[in-house]
Structure 1
Amino acid sequence: MILYEKKEEESKKEYAYRILKENIMSLELKPGELLSEVELSEKLNISRTPIREVIMRLKNEHLIEVKPQSGTYVSLIDLNLIEEAIFMRFALEEKVLKEACNYFPEDKMIELEKNLFAQNIIASMEGGEHEFHKLDTSFHETLFLGVKKKAIWESILKISTHYNRIRLLSQKKDSKVLVVKQHKEILNAIKNKEKEKVEDIINYHMNDSMKSWEYLIKLDEENSKYFKISEEK
């Protein structure tokens, strides 16, 4: 587990929550990994009572699973939660992009261009998946902020924890160059006000991602154990 510097205004409990969540979301703590309250308490320099409260908070966010008589585990990546996140993102990102084609502020356009430039640099190198994933997420966030939909983006983040973990896992396997290409198409559509291209771009972006995820889930021996496959809807 990676320990980051404590922020000045953070309580010990908030610090423990942030560190534990960031390690889960970055896959530093693997899906299905057993967690020890004693070890967490020692590493984070916090008593076990607030650690239990942090665990319950993350359990409510579907990132930790507590099994009676068995232990506390990092949640497996839940395909049902991914499906719900995709449904939400597909519908909302299409509307956001169409709105962005009507008008998108210059300062946000510059942010997208700088972000894409940084993505291109990382995509040309080996490794850098975590940095690339952050840029990828920031790119989409800027799209929402550019059309003044901050609250909607925050709602998407809340439902996208499992979605973002599979995205990061797939970026360890996939060509980052393809993602950069897709983001460039999004940027060009906004610049050229090509609203009619938005649906095809989003469809391609989502469908291509889902194909790589299907490989991870069904065929990748190293990573298939990280998924929870349930028939419940």
Structure 2
Amino acid sequence: MRENIALTAEREAFPGAHQRTRIKRVSVSQQIHEALRERIISLELAPGQNLSRAEIAEHYGVSQTPVRDAMLKLEEEGLLVIYPQSRTQVSKIDVEQARETQFLRLSIELEVMRRLAAKGKKEAVSSARKVFALQQAALEAGEIERFSRLDRFFHEALCQAVGVANLWQLVTARSGHIDRLRNLNLPEPGKPANILFYHQRILEAIEAGDTAAAQSAVREHLSGTLGAADQIMARYPEYF
């Protein structure tokens, strides 16, 4: 029951972001793709792990055809490596690809900060404010996986506020490597609190109409994971 209340609150705070958790009229292969992608990003399916198409089809109660289609799309996104007539494996984390995606994301979010700060109104970030409150609650409850999901919703809410949600989806499709890096780094002591600190700074700067402060906050915020890449690789060498 507690989780149902939490999910309802997330939908009220940011309906667009939470569409992924609801029953949708989409193809079976797309639903399998989204489910497998989330399991890969969360590291439930670890880098280097072999996947069986037949076992996945049985797990989700579907035929192997939509599983094959979902796997092909995940390969395009760089999250799977398919060896024909042999095996399918979760890809190792590619730090260079993560850096490229971070460059793209930062370029977009700096412009998002400029546009939102130019408005200088609390209404412009009302959805992000609600997601921020839910993040605080998730951290207090020790719900790190939910905290991570809300982290993505926070930035998506900012993009939606200036009408560039499709660009966020473009970044998301390429973010598998950087997102896995973040999830490896998230359990580090102080990391979740640090994320909330920067989210608060971003919101306050936007509401104050301070473009420079908003852009500085997002630049510092997004640099954290890649700045710790060497330490993460040293702790989890089998994932790279």
Letter paired with 2:176: T
Percent identical among aligned pairs is: 26
Q: By how many angstroms is 1:106 displaced?
A: 4.6
Give the alignment partner of residue 28 of structure 2, picking from 12, 15, 21.
12
Residue segments in structure 2 that go unaligned for 5+ positions in a row: 1-19
> Matched residues in 1 for 2:179 and 2:161: separation?
21
Q: Which amino acid aligns with 2:238?
A: K
**Alpha-carbon distance change, 5 to 160 in structure 1, aligned in 2, over 3 angstroms:** closer
Matched-pair contact (CA < 8 Å) for 1:41–1:51:
yes
Shift, 1:21, TM fit: 2.0
The residue identity in structure 2 corresponding to 1:14 is: Q
Instruction: Give the aligned partner of residue 170 of structure 2.
Output: 155
Shift of 1:194: 1.0
The answer as to 2:184 corresponding to 1:140 is no
Look up the match of 1:224.
237
Distance 2:24 2:126 in 1: 31
User: Is 1:66 aligned with 2:82?
Assistant: yes
CA contact (8 A) 2:105 2:171 kept: yes
Q: Counterpart of 2:145 in structure 1: which amino acid?
A: H
Tell whether the 8 Å contact from 1:77 to 1:165 is kept in structure 2 after alignment. Answer: yes
Report the number of matched residues: 220
Residues 94, 199 of structure 1: 8 Å contact kept: yes
Contact 1:104–1:146 (CA under 8 A) maintained in structure 2? no
The one-character-per-residue Cα deviations of 1:19-63 (angstroms, maximum 9, x if unpaired) are 222211222111111111221122122223332232222111211
Letter in 2 for 1:132: F
Runs of 4+, deviation exceeding 6 Å: none
In 2, distance between residues paired with 1:14 and 1:93? 27
**Bigger fraction of residues in helix:** 2
1:214 equivalent to 2:227? Answer no
Q: Which residue of 1 aligns with 2:8?
A: none
After superposition, what is the alpha-carbon deviation per residue over 1:83-137, rounded to whole angstroms, capped at 9, x for unaligned? 11111112221111011100166544222222222222222343x2211111111
| 1:140-187 Cα deviation digits (max 9, x unpaired) | 111111112122212211221211221122112242111100100000
Counterpart position of 2:186 = 171
Distance 2:157 2:171 in 1: 13
Matches of 1:82 and 1:5, distance apart in 2: 26
- Over the residues paired in the alignment, what is the CA RMSD in angstroms? 2.3
Contact 2:99 2:226 in 1 (8 A): no
Q: Pairwise mapping of residues 64-213 of structure 1 onto structure 2 (< 5 A)?
A: 64-68=80-84, 70-103=86-119, 106-126=122-142, 128-175=143-190, 176-213=192-229
Report how far residue 78 of structure 1 moved. 1.1
- The answer as to whether partners of 1:6 and 1:15 remain within 8 angstroms in 2 is no
| Separation (CA, whole Å) in 1 of partners of 2:21 and 2:114 | 40
Q: Does 1:51 align with 2:67?
A: yes
Equivalent residue letter for 2:221: H
Aligned pair 1:31/2:44, yes or no? no
TM-score norm. by structure 1 comes to: 0.84
Bigger shift: residues 78-87 or 100-109:
100-109
C-alpha contact 1:141 1:153 (8 A) present in aligned 2: yes
1:72 aligned counterpart, secondary structure: strand
2:49 touches 2:90 (CA, 8 Å); kept in 1?
A: yes
Cα distance in 1 between the residues matched to 2:21 and 2:122: 34
Query: Which amino acid in the other structure matches residue 171 of structure 1?
Result: L
